Structure 1
């Protein structure tokens, strides 16, 4: 039985699949990637909502293993055996690593933004305390209390622009999440088979982390490097778990470099 995932499908060319974090939806990924990818051209961008999130149904999903299985169903239906690029953010980075391991012969490149690292459960992660590097007390004071709480929970840069993008790209997904499905997935959060269970992945890879990320941190991701010998690894200051809206210019440059490295491999 096929369980269809809601997805935004844009452009033509080499498929790129972007997997968002938990519990948001595809708008986080399209918001940060479209400026780079649409300008570059030649890339078909696929932004699915993970099961139970956004507008994808979560019925029958009780674990991250189930989420991964439905994403793989989506890949089979959407791109078949075509080579593709893979981007994952946070929990989506965990899934992307697993998919890259399983489909390494078809993955042209892997990019990870604030990904979960070697520690899956939050209490096992090595993370810094929340440190607000750019504050705007007047902005925060003017927000609805519930919105302010959601925004400031992990915001390292509290500015009108990061608030605008949080409201447009992150808050809608938080409100759409199927909370029952979220609870079931969280109860079985670790994959049965670790993402790095096989040999090193040789495809060009990018790992971008935030120095002030108090959700997934940056230390556990360093421990992944031996598995990705062609990875660039970046730790960005003045950046937390919403790095994509706090340091967008630098993230864009790193993504362009990653895509250039992927193109370079195809010419060798």
Structure 2
């Protein structure tokens, strides 16, 4: 039976991070993107991970979203990173280092941006890193938004959903609209817009000088992602010595919703590499 435990942990800058978790075993931190909360990441990744034995899946609300407040002392992405690193240390029991098994990091969009920095800061504690539609500095060649599949099964939208849904999803079907209304839209009411605007004024993390993270990395991008594109994600392949890269057609920034079977296969392959690396 799946175990689900809500929790909260106090972080630097007086941040109390709310989270839910499922299962037992090696910790997997799954970080959602901007403007949503843990419910979107949980809805997308839990069906892909819950069948894998020995994984404790942890889904936090990032500061300023869901039930995690962002106090005035939180004024930059670096501050958010500090809070997330402290949360990871506490939530995983400081797993890693000599004799440790390490925890896993999965991030979508802005969550992937922070996950990448967390792995760079804590390479001995992070056993594997998965970046899905990662937000990155230096975005380029971001395509115009268009629907790949509409309500009628073609590229037309058929007028389905509201403007926000149609600007996020490229698979615009009733099933995707239902997922948007259940797991994405409800987060809007809980977002602290002023806090995110304050942090967003200094959203680029201070560059580190650590060597590239050397653990197993999976990079997944949507060819039709009109939010962050895929070109900058492709650049990451040369940065990580043990990275795989997939650019999925008929997928946009909502790739975890739109291509779950593909993402499942890629995560299974990534977890196998993590297992082989020890």
Under a length normalisation based on structure 2, what TM-score does the superposition of the two structures give?
0.88
Give the superposition deviation at 1:31.
Answer: 1.0
Partner residue, 2:3: none
Q: Which runs of 5+ in 1 are unaligned?
A: none
- Checking the alignment, whether the CA contact within 8 Å between 1:16 and 1:45 is kept in structure 2 is yes
Which structure has the higher relative contact order (CA within 8 Å, separation 6+)? Answer: 1
SS at match of 1:245: helix
Partner residue, 1:180: 194
Give the superposition deviation at 1:139.
Answer: 7.6
| Correspondence 1:116 to 2:135 | yes
SS at match of 1:153: helix
Partner residue, 1:170: 184
| Correspondence 1:128 to 2:143 | yes
| Correspondence 1:90 to 2:105 | no
SS at match of 1:175: helix
> Structure 1 residue aligned with 2:224, among 212, 223, 231?
212
Give the superposition deviation at 1:174.
Answer: 2.4
**Counting helix residues as a fraction of each chain, which structure ranks higher?**
1
Partner residue, 2:168: 154
Cα distance in 1, alignment partners of residues 78 and 212 from structure 2: 22
Q: How does 1:19-58 map to 2 (within 5 A)?
A: 19-58=31-70
Cα distance in 2, alignment partners of residues 29 and 84 from structure 1: 17
Q: Deviations over 1:149-168 (max 9, x none)?
A: 11011221100111111112
Cα distance in 2, alignment partners of residues 193 and 207 from structure 1: 20
Give the superposition deviation at 1:140.
Answer: 5.7
Superposition CA RMSD, Å: 1.7
Q: Which runs of 5+ in 2 are unaligned?
A: 1-11, 96-101
Cα distance in 2, alignment partners of residues 65 and 125 from structure 1: 23
Cα distance in 1, alignment partners of residues 52 and 92 from structure 2: 20
Give the superposition deviation at 1:117.
Answer: 2.9
**Runs of 4+ with >3 A deviation:** 137-143
Number of residue-to-residue matches in the alignment: 256
SS at match of 1:220: helix
Cα distance in 2, alignment partners of residues 199 and 255 from structure 1: 24
| Correspondence 1:3 to 2:18 | no
